[in-house]
Structure 1
Amino acid sequence: MISRKRILRFAIGKMLCQDGWAEKYNPKNQFHVNQYDYSTCKEYLAALKEKWQEYEDPECELEGYVDVSKYSNYDDYAYDVDTYRTRLEWHDEWDCDCEFDVNPCDFEYEEYYINALKSAWKNKYDPNNEHTNVDPCDYNSVEEYHKALMDE
Structure 2
Amino acid sequence: MMAAAVAVLAVLAVAAPHARAASLLEKNFWLSGPNYSGIVPACDEREALNLISMRFSETERMYWNSNLAITGLDKISEIAFRPWGPEYQPRRYCSARVYTNDNKQRAIYYSIIEDGGLIGASWGVEWCIVGLDRNYAYAPSCKMARP
**What TM-score bracket applies, with the shorter chain setting the length?**
under 0.3
Higher helix proportion: 1
- The structure having more radius of gyration, on CA atoms, is 1
